[in-house]
Structure 1
Amino acid sequence: MPSRIELHPGAARTERPRKRPAFIDQKRGVKDWKQASEWLKWRGIEDIECITPDIAGVPRGKMMPTSKFTSNTSLSLPSALFRHTISGEYPEETGDFRYDPTDGDLKLVPDLSTLSVVPWETDPTAQVVCDIVDTQGNEVGYTPRNVLKRVVSLYRERGWQPVVAPEIEFYLVAKNDDPDYPLQPPKGRSGRTIAGGQSYSIAGVNEFDELIDDIYHFSEAQGLEIDTLIHEEGPAQLEINLRHGDPIELADQVFLFKRTLREAALNHNMYATFMAKPMQGQAGSAMHIHQSVVDLQTGRNIFADEKGEASQEFFSFIGGMQHFVPKALVMMAPYVNSYRRLTPDMACPVNNAWGYDNRTTAFRVPSSDPSARRVENRLPSSDTNPYLALAASLACGYLGMVRGVKPSAPTAHTANEGTTVDLPRGLLEAVSLLESEPAFQDVFGADFIATYCGLKRGEFETFMQVISPWEREYLLLNV
């Protein structure tokens, strides 16, 4: 619509300044393509990164000029991108794992609600998270964002809305260009290498003040909301907590946070790593997931009844977690390294017990008001793809509720005592458990399970080709 023009006595024709639309000031997301064009123009954005998570959660996609993006151009990726391992290899076809014989195109569909700037780029750049569809416009079921959407839709069909709040642990480490050498903590502002035992230490956080300032600034520019940031037990191990909300939106935020943290760390000549167990003898890194469910019509937390007491749905959700999470663990602990974290005598549960405010259990119920009653899943590691970890955790609780699974009695003692591990001890065992559970075929889709398990087996075979220092130390001259 043309701007309004007014005539003033004795003055030349002037144009009234255009009113700034409210959506222009949104840090994250627009409603439609028209708003997207204006949002990008106001910011002088030159390039757009259209990204989507692959099976590992690595950002894949295309960069293009803004003019091409807003012309509604067709964006394609080869289907093989979702069938290669974390090392970029293509495993042999096994079981139900098969390749597309033509390696046909898949389409990127930008989700404009995720549009935001890329604050670390020197040229004005924006990013948008994309969904994946086939050439006919159908959702591709084995891609991570669509797996999570499938699980969330199962809740909504029952009139429920899951609510989640992830907590992401990670290490800062000194730069290391030789994988044969162990990782080392970085030096902080004091000039000294930070030591362990710094849980909740403000001084430990202050060692990296300038880096943390960058994390906050980068996050604010993208519309990502950090709830709290703390120092964890390990040397230079930090944890970021996100505000609770919709699972898909929160998975997007974790996806972007990982990228943000890596970029901020590189700006300060160090790495941010989300490996589950980056340092021998130190605590592993988790992605704890707080979960509740609300009624779509009333907004009431269904984990509490009208009197505020724990509901049957609450107990069945826990029962489902206990029964199904060990079988879905490979979606929350996806690599060989993940199972180094899941060992006795470390700060990590190795059981499927639950308890009230008991951090030694896999499923902890934090102290809260009835309206905030929730279940914390403490098993996922931070190396997981957030879309798949959330999908797996919520699916297990969903199956518990619809099947009326009864939980065990809550555990009031230390659940990690002794050497018993009530979970898969390795990657192949976890893969077999995922494949063998019939209920998962419906909630995750057969295509996803076949693809995911085929890739995990391929990654294990690649790992088995590497000879470790332990083998050289104890087998070289002794066997």
Structure 2
Amino acid sequence: MQHLTTWVGDETAPKSEIMQLVKKEGVKFAQMQFMDILGTVKNVTIPTTKLEKALDEGVFFDGSSVLGYATIEESDMRLKPDLNTFVVLPWLQDNMKTARIVCDVYDHEDNRFDGDPRATLQRLMGRVRKKGWMFNTAPEYEFFFFIPDERGDPTTKPSDYGGYFDLMRDRGDNVRKEIVTHLNAMGFDVEASHHEVAPGQHEIDLAYADAITSAD
């Protein structure tokens, strides 16, 4: 990933660098993100006045309320932030300016939680490295744009009737470019974007990276 002013991607990124960036950028909130066993992104948001403590000690949460995580008796779990995933979200500004950090999940005995999908992928990556291999992935994100009705509710009417690689000068094309702009600002290495085969279908391609970086 690119190392931009809103991205701390150095493998040895110290806490002080993050706190300096928070102050410089005027970041007000930090989203501490992790994932459940179904791949749903979970999040707890803290004010950046509590961020330094969270970077040192982590954030405790009730794991019994997260699908597949823990029982009531073993519900005390902790999120430990991976400092190298800190990034400022470019679409939130002023008093809502927010950063996100991907976290590792630890159980009530402070052991890495086996049910954390990120931990599973990291273990697999370790096995791959021991064999002398590299495991890289290059995501291709495909999605559709639909036209809302007169009340603003979603419909199934596509935003255009273009085809593969068609040049569509419409709102869908502009929104796709806006998404790419935000991805670049966050340090993602966007290879290309284009209209896909179906009406209203678009695709954004990222450059390959190791599987953990791609998944984060």
Amino acid in structure 1 at the alignment position of 2:213: E
Residue in structure 2 matching 1:243, options 204, 207, 211: 207
Instruction: Answer whether contact 1:201 1:231 (CA < 8 A) is retained.
Output: yes
Secondary structure of the residue aligned to 2:178 is helix
Provide the C-alpha distance between the structure 2 equivalents of 1:209 and 1:200, rounded to a whole number of angstroms. Answer: 11
Residue in structure 2 matching 1:168, options 132, 141, 161: 141
Residues 206-245 of structure 1: per-residue CA shift (max 9 Å, x gap):
5523312321221122111211111111111111111011
Residues 130-162 of structure 1: per-residue CA shift (max 9 Å, x gap):
111113332111111111111111101212221
Counterpart in 2 of 1:50? 32
Counting only pairs closer than 5 Å after superposition, residues 9-408 of structure 1 correspond to structure 2 as: 25=5, 27-29=7-9, 31-71=13-53, 72-83=56-67, 100-102=71-73, 104-122=75-93, 123-175=96-148, 183-186=156-159, 194-195=160-161, 198-203=163-168, 206-252=170-216
Provide the C-alpha distance between the structure 1 equivalents of 2:174 and 2:4, rounded to a whole number of angstroms. Answer: 29
Amino acid in structure 2 at the alignment position of 1:209: D
Instruction: Answer whether contact 1:28 1:222 (CA < 8 A) is retained.
Output: no
CA RMSD, Structure 1 to Structure 2 (Å) = 2.6
Unaligned stretches of 5+ residues in structure 1 = 1-22, 85-97, 187-193, 253-479
* Cα distance change, pair 62–38 in 1 and its aligned pair in 2 (3 A): same
Secondary structure of the residue aligned to 1:69 is helix
Provide the C-alpha distance between the structure 2 equivalents of 1:24 and 1:206, rounded to a whole number of angstroms. Answer: 30
Unaligned stretches of 5+ residues in structure 2 = none
Secondary structure of the residue aligned to 1:102 is helix
Instruction: Answer whether contact 1:107 1:135 (CA < 8 A) is retained.
Output: yes
Radius of gyration: which is bigger?
A: 1
Residues 90-146 of structure 1: per-residue CA shift (max 9 Å, x gap):
xxxxxxxx9624251221111111111112223221111111111333211111111
Provide the C-alpha distance between the structure 2 equivalents of 1:70 and 1:33, rounded to a whole number of angstroms. Answer: 8
Provide the C-alpha distance between the structure 1 equivalents of 2:90 and 2:198, rounded to a whole number of angstroms. Answer: 29
Provide the C-alpha distance between the structure 1 equivalents of 2:166 and 2:209, rounded to a whole number of angstroms. Answer: 28
Provide the C-alpha distance between the structure 2 equivalents of 1:217 and 1:228, rounded to a whole number of angstroms. Answer: 12
Query: What's the CA shift for 1:62?
Result: 1.2
TM-score (normalizing by structure 1): 0.40
Provide the C-alpha distance between the structure 1 equivalents of 2:177 and 2:73, rounded to a whole number of angstroms. Answer: 48
Amino acid in structure 1 at the alignment position of 2:111: N
Number of equivalenced pairs:
205
* Cα distance change, pair 212–182 in 1 and its aligned pair in 2 (3 A): closer
Instruction: Answer whether contact 1:24 1:38 (CA < 8 A) is retained.
Output: no
**RCO comparison, higher one (Cα < 8 Å, 6+):** 2
TM-score (normalizing by structure 2): 0.83
Provide the C-alpha distance between the structure 2 equivalents of 1:100 and 1:229, rounded to a whole number of angstroms. Answer: 44
Structure 1 residue ranges, 4+ long, deviating more than 4 angstroms after superposition: none
User: Per residue, is there more strand in 1 or in 2?
Assistant: 2
Query: What's the CA shift for 1:56?
Result: 3.1
Query: What's the CA shift for 1:67?
Result: 1.9
Provide the C-alpha distance between the structure 2 equivalents of 1:171 and 1:37, rounded to a whole number of angstroms. Answer: 38
Amino acid in structure 2 at the alignment position of 1:25: T
Secondary structure of the residue aligned to 1:109 is strand
Query: What's the CA shift for 1:167?
Result: 1.3
* Cα distance change, pair 50–175 in 1 and its aligned pair in 2 (3 A): farther
Secondary structure of the residue aligned to 1:202 is coil
Provide the C-alpha distance between the structure 2 equivalents of 1:82 and 1:152, rounded to a whole number of angstroms. Answer: 25
Instruction: Answer whether contact 1:28 1:223 (CA < 8 A) is retained.
Output: no
Provide the C-alpha distance between the structure 1 equivalents of 2:32 and 2:38, rounded to a whole number of angstroms. Answer: 17
